[in-house]
């Protein structure tokens, strides 16, 4: 029997994996990968709560997830553009080496 707990635990695990990637990896693109995983965990939570609630408004959860996906797409585009700009400037995407404010 599937309950809300299953989805919430999976979502928490997905979020933690993404957070570990963001905090531990050196490459900027893998950090963005981790951020996308965390956003996906949030979307999963939205839809799980929508599905397992009593649905006073039957479309609210779906709309929330759709808008969240669209904002995440905009975030990914700007984030990757920033990574490319940093690479142009510093010739590296290694976050340990991109540590000067005025270069």
> Distance between CA 42 and CA 33 in Å, rounded?
14
Using CB under 8 A as the binding rule, whether residue 97 contacts another protein is answered as: no
Residue 31 C-beta: closest distance to another protein, Å:
9
The interface with another protein within residues 43-62 (CB under 8 A) comprises 43-44, 47-48, 50-55, 58-59, 61-62
Tally Cβ neighbours within 10 Å of residue 34: 20
Residue 91 C-beta: closest distance to another protein, Å:
8
Between 55 and 102, CB nearer to another protein? 55
* Residue 42 C-alpha from the chain's centroid: 8
Whether the Cβ atoms of residue 95 and residue 31 lie closer than 8 Å to each other: yes
């Amino acid at each position: 029997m599937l309950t809300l707990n299953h989805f919430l635990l999976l979502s928490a695990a997905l979020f933690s994996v993404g957070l570990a990637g963001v905090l531990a990896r050196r490459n900027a693109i893998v950090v963005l990968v981790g951020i996308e995983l965390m956003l996906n965990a949030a979307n999963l939570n939205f839809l799980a709560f929508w599905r397992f609630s009593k649905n006073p408004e039957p479309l609210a959860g779906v709309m929330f997830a759709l808008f969240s996906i669209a904002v995440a797409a905009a975030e990914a585009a700007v984030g990757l553009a920033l990574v490319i700009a940093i690479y142009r400037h510093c010739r590296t995407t290694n976050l340990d080496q991109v540590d000067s404010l005025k270069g």
